[in-house]
Amino acid sequence: MKDYESLLKAHGLKNTFQRVSIIKAIDKAGHISIDDIYKEIVVYHPSISLATVYKNILTMKELGLVVEVPIANAKSKYELIKNDHIHFICQKCGSVEDKPITAKIQHFFEELVAHDAFKLLSTQNNLYGMCHHCHAS
């Protein structure tokens, strides 16, 4: 991802410095909490308000630009919209990594929901444990 301005425009949002900063922070981190988005931006743009981050995350979520990743025993993180995937969540350091979902699994999910007449829209698959790095230390 690079052209954040177009991304905003495509979703009917005005192009502000604050918004570009928010998207940039999410894109850079991959997965990041609201608080951490704010902390990152405030360094180089001290006048930004936390309320602005909250408002924009809400808007971007509603427009489907950003997706909330709720995490057990932690605050939600946010990611830019992407295809369904699997999260490796380290319970020690809190890191979140994406892994591709295979067609096989996708298919399995589709079979599962079909059986129940559940209309599937998206999936979130969190694998909790310890990342390589934390496990080694």
Partner DNA sequence: ATAATTGCAAATTTTTTGCAGGTTC
Partner DNA sequence: GAACCTGCAAAAAATTTGCAATTAT
Residue 28's binding partner, choosing from DNA, its own copies, none, with beta-carbon cut-off 5 to 8 A by kind? none
Site for its own copies in 71-110 (CB under 8 A): 71-73, 76, 86, 88, 90-91, 97, 99, 102, 104-105, 108-109
Minimal distance in Å, beta carbon 62 to DNA?
Answer: 11
Give DSSP secondary structure letters for 27-56.
HHHSSB-HHHHHHHHHHH-TT--HHHHHHH
Q: Is 93 helix (H, G, I), strand (E, B) or coil?
A: coil
Minimal distance in Å, beta carbon 58 to DNA?
Answer: 6
Count the residues of the shown chain that bind its own copies, applying the rule CB under 8 A.
40
Site membership for its own copies, residue 10 (CB under 8 A): no
HSE at residue 126, side-chain half, CA atoms within 13 A, is 18
Site membership for DNA, residue 130 (CB under 7 A): no
Residue 49's binding partner, choosing from its own copies, DNA, none, with beta-carbon cut-off 5 to 8 A by kind? DNA
Integer CA distances (angstroms), 135 to 16, 25, 30, 74, 91, in order:
41, 27, 21, 20, 10
Site membership for DNA, residue 6 (CB under 7 A): no
41/89 with CB nearer DNA: 41
Integer CA distances (angstroms), 7 to 23, 78, 103, in order:
9, 16, 28
